[in-house]
Amino acid sequence: MKEFFENEMKLEFVSKANNEAFARAAVAAFAAQLDPTVEELADIKTAVSEAVTNCIIHAYESKQGIIKVIARLKEDEIIIEISDNGKGIENINLAKEPLFTTKPNLERSGMGFTIMESFMDSMDVESIVGLGTKVTMSKKIQPKPEEDEKDFLLVAKE
């Protein structure tokens, strides 16, 4: 049975560094439909930034390729898939270790997956060497208090 989503967007772009900001902004604009807080939106933007940067730096290295972003809304949750057709990851568990990097010569900390995991509610990595990698992340957006509750909270604080 196919899963039902309330809305979906798909985006493809070339693995150029300046497209990272574009992807981050596009996903943030799409996520805005869920009325996230500034902090929730910042978390989503940071996680997308890390995933796209991984594609640019690691998947395609010095050549260009296509990065795909799919974002779906389901009730109060955003699910984001970021994938590439790059070189793939040989050992996902090792790659997810904090401070592990295959590019020690770059000013990179090896914290990309750790950041994605800490800023999102869930993160899954699938990869096949020579075929590419897909990172799937999700985040539930906390419901806002109803107007009556907000008024009550304001009165209660006075």
Mean pLDDT of the region 78-94: 93
Q: Please give the C-alpha separations between residue 57 and each of 14, 103, 111, 134, 157, in angstroms, as whole numbers.
A: 13, 9, 13, 15, 49
How do residues 88-143 score in pLDDT, each as one tens digit?
Answer: 998 888 888 777 666 666 655 667 888 999 999 999 999 999 999 999 999 999 88
Straight-line distance from the first to the last Cα atom of the chain, in angstroms, rounded to the nearest whole number:
52
| 140 Cβ contact partners less than 8 Å away, ≥ 6 residues apart | 76, 77, 121
Return the pLDDT at 100: 67
Return the pLDDT at 155: 60
Return the pLDDT at 18: 93
72 is catalytic: no
The widest CA-to-CA distance across the chain, in whole angstroms, is 62
- Which of 20, 50, 81, 117 is the catalytic position? 50
Helix (H, G, I), strand (E, B) or coil at 116: helix
Eight-class DSSP state of 34: G
Return the pLDDT at 148: 56
- Which of 20, 54, 72, 81 is the catalytic position? 54
- For residue 52, count other CB atoms closer than 10 A to its CB: 25
> At 31, which amino acid appears?
A
CA angle 20, 44, 133 (to 5 degrees): 60
Structure tokens given for 146: 């109803």
Beta bridge partners of 82: 69, 135
Return the pLDDT at 62: 80
pLDDT of residue 17 exceeding 80: yes
Mean pLDDT of the chain, nearest integer: 88
93 is catalytic: no
- Which of 38-42, 84-88, 141-145 has the weakest average pLDDT? 141-145
54 is catalytic: yes
Domain 7-157 is of which CATH architecture? 2-Layer Sandwich (3.30)
pLDDT of residue 158 exceeding 80: no
Q: Residue 87 in contact with residue 80, Cβ under 8 Å? A: no
- Which of 19, 77, 85, 108 is the catalytic position? 108
